[in-house]
Chains A and B, each alone.
Chain A
Amino acid sequence: DTGVSQNPRHKITKRGQNVTFRCDPISEHNRLYWYRQTLGQGPEFLTYFQNEAQLEKSRLLSDRFSAERPKGSFSTLEIQRTEQGDSAMYLCASSQRGGGYNEQFFGPGTRLTVL
């Protein structure tokens, strides 16, 4: 039984560079969520997909951020022209359905450091 996986686990980049993260959800899960967590705070919702459709984006997701989920399987989150304020842990989660109770399984996260 494989859980949610994320790659890379750590990424160090220089300001202004582009970075891309990948999330592989649990195979039968049709919902995929991205969250961002800064030091000392709880995760904040960024965006979510149902299958391949991106249904909602948070206002936290500036124009420099883009997420895709081609074919409704894995997802990528790209940050263009990174800024130091983008330094955070990026968490991916998946679930079978939406709604109040459908357990979201989280991946280990990608920790981004922008120098």
Chain B
Amino acid sequence: AQKITQTQPGMFVQEKEAVTLDCTYDTSDPSYGLFWYKQPSSGEMIFLIYQGSYDQQNATEGRYSLNFQKARKSANLVISASQLGDSAMYFCAMRGNTNAGKSTFGDGTTLTVKP
């Protein structure tokens, strides 16, 4: 079984500052992928960043980076230089290679960027 835990229901950040959204996971799969999605109020899930369990380096995509600590089973998302448009719900998710690719999601963190 897989489980994703996001312990921060809501976070606030000042515009232009960096923010870290926490995610811990549990799985028995030896190989898996970790994902972060953004869900604005419109409801669409927008893919942000991916980290493979065997990747040696932390993933980065523009202002998004993933702080992957495999031994601690954590995959925190760091957003640098926050923008007002970053205000949304953020979900951490994982997929194992032995579970047919279905995703397990956390309950999300609502990020509010203050001007």
Provide the residues of chain B in CB contact with A40, threshold 8 Å.
107-108
B100 touches A98 (CB 8 A): yes
Q: Chain A: how many interface residues by the 8 Å CB criterion?
A: 30
19 contacts between A and B (CB under 8 A): A33-B101, A33-B103, A40-B107, A43-B105, A44-B105, A45-B104, A48-B100, A56-B100, A91-B45, A93-B103, A99-B95, A100-B96, A104-B103, A106-B44, A106-B46, A106-B47, A108-B44, A109-B43, A111-B43
B32 touches A105 (CB 8 A): no
Contacts known (A48-B102, A100-B97); A42 close to B107, Cβ less than 8 A: yes
Instruction: Identify which of A41, A43, A105 gathers the most chain B CB atoms within 10 Å of its CB.
Output: A43
Instruction: Identify which of A42, A43, A55, A107 gathers the most chain B CB atoms within 10 Å of its CB.
Output: A42
Residue of B with least CB distance to A100 = B33
A50 CA / B48 CA spacing, docked (Å)? 25
The reply on B69 being an interface residue by CB < 8 A is no
In chain A, positions 67-115 with a C-beta closer than 8 Å to chain B are 89, 91, 93, 95, 97-109, 111
In chain A, positions 8-33 with a C-beta closer than 8 Å to chain B are 31, 33
Residues of B within 8 A of A (CB): 4, 29, 31-33, 37, 42-47, 50, 52-53, 91, 93, 95-97, 100-108
Of B29, B46, B97, B106, which one neighbours A42 at CB under 8 angstroms? B106
A46 CA / B52 CA spacing, docked (Å)? 24
Provide the residues of chain A in CB contact with B102, threshold 8 Å.
33, 45, 48, 56
A91 CA / B47 CA spacing, docked (Å)? 14
Provide the residues of chain B in CB contact with A44, threshold 8 Å.
105
Instruction: Identify which of B50, B100, B101 gathers the most chain A CB atoms within 10 Å of its CB.
Output: B101
B45 touches A100 (CB 8 A): no
B44 touches A100 (CB 8 A): no
A56 CA / B47 CA spacing, docked (Å)? 24
A41 CA / B9 CA spacing, docked (Å)? 10
Provide the residues of chain A in CB contact with B104, threshold 8 Å.
45
A89 CA / B44 CA spacing, docked (Å)? 10
